Amino acid sequence: MNSFLMSFVPIEWITTAIHSIFIFGVVGLIVGSFASKIPVINAYGTIIKAIAGILLIFGLFAEGYNYASKDWITKSKEYEEKIRIAEEKSGKVNEVIKHVFVDKVKVVETERVVIQEKLKDVSVKIDSQCKITTDTVDILNQAARGKK
């Protein structure tokens, strides 16, 4: 849910907010340190230091997270570009494979038709006792091995 809402906010705004939180933390600690030395506003200085310390810690964490996120986003974009290039190459290779495959299918189809014609010619030689001639066996072996 959080990243969904953050996707509508420009990354520059998020970076500016993180920098501001960190700077407020640092400035708040400095101001709180001076304010805690003044006896009249001593209590307020301690409160400012406590709030500024929390802001500083959160800002420091957010700075590191933001830096790491930018690094991952950069790497992600690099990999997306590599994937796009690989998809283009694979599309070209698939076209080549498709043409080679179609050519091989045509060759197999023509071999099948030729062998069927040879079998029709030899089928006349098969007698009524269902004895198969050596010519028929040779043609079937040739069909199993492929054309030579």
Compute the average pLDDT of residues 3-16: 77
Kindly tell me if the per-residue pLDDT of 36 is higher than 80: yes
What does the pLDDT look like over 89-148, one tens digit per residue? Answer: 888 888 887 777 777 777 777 777 777 777 766 666 665 566 777 777 777 777 667 655
Say how far apart CA 73 and CA 85 lie, in whole Å.
Answer: 18
Say how far apart CA 31 and CA 47 lie, in whole Å.
Answer: 11
Q: What is the pLDDT of residue 19?
A: 93
135, 66, 144, 138: which is closest to 108 by C-alpha? 144
CA 83 from chain center: how many Å?
Answer: 7
What does the pLDDT look like over 47-72, one tens digit per residue? Answer: 999 999 999 999 999 999 888 888 88
DSSP state of 133: P
